[in-house]
Structure formats: structure tokens, C-alpha cells
């Protein structure tokens, strides 16, 4: 399994353990500047020993390795020596080269938190929160040379509850993704799995978010602003809003009121800013910019 020190990877791995799916080795990307040029795999060591993911994996006797320079023959050779039946990717921060993903006997699968072919890319949940997508899901698909473009093995549709945080959404979709993998493994081994090609005409791709992508529009509803901020707050980025009273940098969304705002002006109540949107008022913490 390829993953990262993230909620998504940890939740996915935890669910696999609950389902009785044996994971032999967890492969993470390098953590230290001194290791970035190294080829091959490096056993986990003291600086990462206390991360929740590493602690969880050790409790369940899962070998943990850090991989570097994925494009080198040395790395591919060491991964080949694992003699894996199946590889699965769950929030790994690098693209696997063909020399790696083609190694397993039954192939390499990726679990992706969107209903592919829409929202391909490295941060699909961010863009779904920004676009106010209420019904999303998770996709299990084969890995090939196209980013998030391999044939779909299975999908699970899932509504995003109002105000759900990004970590909670990651955990929810990761657990459903693990259920998809568990159901697919038996069919893989029996040779009866029938993945379906994605429709390229429907495919969309979004890059990693930039600071400008955290700008709020006053034409949004207050609920849309609330859900977007709650779902992406873990990015720790200010949300900018331009109003007739000036520009504001918001840190967190607290609540929202439906219906027309009583005032077109931004109000201050204690430690709250009340910000009028197209349909409602957002309660948030933040500051006015000079």
C-alpha cells in the first residue's frame, strides 16, 4: 500500500484491518531533506516514529518503508522484491511510474475521493467543496499512465453533510473506499473483475489549490461560503472577501443565517464578523485588512 501521513491513508488502512484484508507493507514518501536524493527504500526511523499512522501500522505488524526517487531502477527493484499480489494507492503524494505500478500480479489500484472521471487531480475534495458539490463519492480504479484515468473498478456515492470538516470527509470516503477494495479483491483473484473505461468527454482535472482559490465571492449563498470554509479549514489559509466596506481575511466559519441580510454592511458582534452574502449572513472569525 502506498500512502501518506494523512487522515485519508490512516482511515483507509484502519478499515482494511477491520475487514481482515492483510496489508504487508506500507510505503510512504521521504520525510527528510537529507533523504530526498536517495534511491530505494529506507526503513522508518525515529523522526516519524510517533505519527499516528506509523504507530497504528506498528501495532498491526505492518512493515513501514520510505520510498525515494521512484523513477530509478533501484527503487523499482526493491519494490519488486516485495513480490506483492496487489498494490493499492491511498493518498500517495507522487505519481507512480509504470516500472512500479506494473509490478503486482493482480495490478495496482487507486482509491480517489471523487466520482471519476470528474475531479481528477491532487486535491479533489477541495474543489468539490469550492464548487458546492453536495453528492460526491469515492472511486476505486486501475492505475495506468494517465493521472486518475484508469478503468473504474467500483464507485460509492456519498452525500456531504452540511458543515462537514475536510478531515471528517476524508475519513468517511476512505472507509467507503476500503469497502470497495475488499469487495473487489475476490473478483480480482478469480479473474472475473470487469473494470469499465472512463468517459474522456466527461473528464475534468483540477490542480493543487493556490491562494487565489480561497477567495470568497459575495454572490455565493451564505451556506456555500460556510460549507467551503468548514471543508477546507485544515489547509490553514486565509479566506479573502471583498465588500463595499473593505477587504476581509477570514479564518474560520462559525455559523450562517438563511434569508436576506438585515443590513448590507459587515457587522461586528463580539469576536464575530457578520458578513452578508447573496442569500444569508455568514458568521466568521477574521479581520479587516488595511
Mean pLDDT, residues 203-209 taken together: 97
Identify the CATH class of 211-288.
Answer: alpha beta
Which pLDDT band holds residue 270 (cuts at 50, 70, 90)?
confident
Give the pLDDT mean for 197-215: 97
pLDDT at 42: 59
- Whether 249 contacts 237, CB under 8 Å: no
Name residue, grid cell 442569500: 279
With a cut of 70, say whether residue 38 has pLDDT above it.
Answer: no
pLDDT tens for each residue of 154-193: 999 999 999 999 999 999 999 999 999 999 998 988 889 9
**Higher per-residue pLDDT: 40 or 102:** 102
Question: Is residue 90 helix, strand or coil?
Answer: coil
Q: Where are the domains of the chain?
A: 2-202, 211-288
Q: Which of 21-30, 230-239, 256-265 has the lowest mean pLDDT?
A: 256-265
Percentage of residues in the chain with pLDDT exceeding 70?
93
Sign of CA dihedral 5, 6, 8, 10: positive
CA distances from 108 to 29, 150, 216, 229 (A): 17, 10, 39, 34
pLDDT of residue 39: 52
Q: What is the mean pLDDT of residues 104-129?
A: 97
Mean of pLDDT over the chain = 91
For 2-202, give the CATH class: alpha beta
Instruction: For the sheet with 280-288, list strands across it.
Output: 239-243, 246-257, 280-288, 272-277, 267-269
Q: Running DSSP on this structure, what letter comes out for residue 220? A: S
Identify whether the C-beta of residue 278 lies closer than 8 Å to the C-beta of residue 219: yes
Q: Which of 57, 60, 58, 77 is nearest to 69 (CA)?
A: 77
pLDDT at 75 over 90: no
Domains 2-202 and 211-288 share a fold: no
Confidence of residue 49 (pLDDT cuts 50, 70, 90): low
pTM of structure: 0.92
Amino acid at each position: 500500500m502506498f500512502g501518506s501521513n494523512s487522515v485519508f491513508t490512516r482511515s483507509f488502512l484502519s478499515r482494511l484491518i477491520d475487514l481482515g484484508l492483510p496489508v504487508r507493507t506500507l510505503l510512504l514518501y521521504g520525510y527528510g531533506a537529507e533523504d530526498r536524493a536517495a534511491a530505494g527504500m529506507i526503513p522508518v526511523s525515529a523522526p516519524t516514529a510517533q505519527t499516528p499512522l506509523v504507530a497504528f501500522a506498528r501495532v498491526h505488524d505492518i512493515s513501514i518503508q520510505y520510498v525515494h526517487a521512484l523513477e530509478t531502477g533501484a527503487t523499482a527493484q526493491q519494490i519488486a522484491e516485495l513480490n506483492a499480489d496487489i498494490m493499492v494507492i491511498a493518498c500517495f503524494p507522487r505519481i507512480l511510474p509504470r516500472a512500479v505500478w506494473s509490478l503486482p500480479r493482480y495490478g495496482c489500484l487507486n482509491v480517489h475521493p471523487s466520482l471519476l472521471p470528474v475531479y481528477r487531480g491532487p486535491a479533489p475534495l477541495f474543489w468539490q467543496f469550492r464548487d458546492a458539490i453536495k453528492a460526491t463519492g469515492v472511486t476505486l480504479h486501475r492505475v495506468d499512465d494517465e493521472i486518475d484515468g484508469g478503468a473504474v473498478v467500483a464507485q460509492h456515492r456519498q452525500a456531504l453533510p452540511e458543515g462537514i470538516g475536510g478531515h471528517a470527509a476524508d475519513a468517511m470516503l476512505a472507509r467507503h473506499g476500503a469497502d470497495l477494495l475488499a469487495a473487489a479483491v475476490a473478483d480480482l483473484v478469480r479473474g472475473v473483475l470487469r473494470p469499465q473505461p472512463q468517459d474522456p468527454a466527461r473528464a475534468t482535472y483540477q490542480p493543487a489549490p493556490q491562494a487565489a482559490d480561497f477567495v470568497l465571492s459575495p454572490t455565493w449563498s451564505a451556506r456555500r461560503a460556510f460549507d467551503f470554509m468548514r471543508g477546507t479549514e485544515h489547509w490553514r489559509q486565509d479566506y479573502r472577501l471583498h465588500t463595499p466596506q473593505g477587504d476581509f481575511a477570514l479564518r474560520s466559519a462559525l455559523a450562517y443565517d438563511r434569508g436576506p441580510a438585515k443590513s448590507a454592511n459587515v457587522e461586528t458582534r463580539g469576536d464575530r464578523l457578520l458578513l452578508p452574502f447573496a442569500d444569508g449572513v455568514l458568521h466568521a472569525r477574521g479581520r479587516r485588512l488595511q
